Amino acid sequence: MLRLAILPNKRISPIRNKSSSGPRKFVKKIPRGNSTSASKYPQVIIFDVDGVLVDVRESFHRTVLETVRHFTGKRVTARELHHWKNQSGYNDDWKLSTAWVKSLGGKNEYAEVKAKFVSLYWGESGRGNVSREKWLLSRPVLRKLAKHSELALFTGRVRLETDYTLDHCRVREFFRQIVTVEDIDHPKPDPQGLLKILNGRDPARSLYLGDNVDDAIAAQKARIPFVGVLPRNSAARRTRSAQLKKFGAVAILSSAAEFPVWLARRASHR
């Protein structure tokens, strides 16, 4: 997880300013839903990335386990990983890995643990655990959602990781705003990233989808309705569902694929 900012490509279309004979002005085309959709659907839908839009069990989660095993020699498990994930303050996998190593008697500091994590995640020429990631929400579904609402991302990833996945999966075009951990001063569970995306808009007219405690706390602090995403019959759902509800989750879905149906049903009752 190197720290590098890569600016997304922006599409612009030339539009003649009819009130002036001066040079052409360029404005970005922004798709907007109709007034009926705007009244029923959220103005902004904000997604967390890991565990919501991307299956990271074989990428980030595997890398945490391999990193801890490397430094401690102990065979730690996914069940133990979820114990850490259920606690606030461990949304950052580098921080989590370091704390876990130390809890098992390791003397390794953050910088050393992070370096090993990064090498395992990226591997050589992107053939590390990052190659095991799976995007979960199809382009047609994203396109349909974008007709009703502005789509945005607020993730604990760094920019390089985020850019790689969006470009590799060809989904960048659907997200009007992308806020990574490098774009804010205070990471989750602080709501700074969510508030940055809203930029003064009514939080009640938005939704945030996430999968961990810090996502739910950040949404609660920002007064944004929160939807939890936890796979059915998973350890994460068994151990975390009650916590997400405790912090205000209005629903717990089994996957992001269920979200469009849930959203349409919600809109039909408004």
125 and 115 in one domain? yes
Read off the pLDDT of residues 52-104 as tens digits, 9 standing for 90 and up. Answer: 999 999 999 999 999 999 999 999 999 999 899 988 989 899 999 999 999 99
Whether residue 1 is contained in a domain is answered as no
262 and 143 in one domain? yes
Percent above pLDDT 90 for the chain: 77
* pLDDT value at residue 39: 63
Whether residue 4 is contained in a domain is answered as no
84 and 50 in one domain? no
Domain end call among 108, 131, 154: 131
Residues 187 and 156 sit within 8 Å (Cβ to Cβ): yes
CATH number of the structural domain spanning residue 176: 3.40.50.1000
Domain end call among 131, 152, 184: 131
211 and 96 in one domain? no
Burial classification of residue 181, based on how many CB atoms lie within 10 Å of its CB (0-12 exposed, 13-18 middle, 19 or more buried): buried
Whether residue 197 is contained in a domain is answered as yes
The pTM score is 0.83
The whole-angstrom separation of Cα 223 and Cα 195 is: 10
Q: Residue holding tokens 């994460």?
A: 236
Domain end call among 72, 106, 131: 131
114 and 90 in one domain? yes
* pLDDT value at residue 235: 83
The conformation of residue 232, written as its DSSP 8-state character, comes to: T
The whole-angstrom separation of Cα 93 and Cα 71 is: 15
141 and 260 in one domain? yes
Helix-helix angle 259-268:139-148, to 10 degrees: 30
Quote the domain boundaries for residue 159.
38-55+134-268
Lowest-pLDDT range of 98-107, 175-184, 235-244:
235-244
157 and 48 in one domain? yes
The whole-angstrom separation of Cα 164 and Cα 130 is: 9
Number of domains in the chain: 2
183 and 119 in one domain? no
Q: Please, which pLDDT band fits residue 130 given cuts at 50, 70 and 90?
A: very high
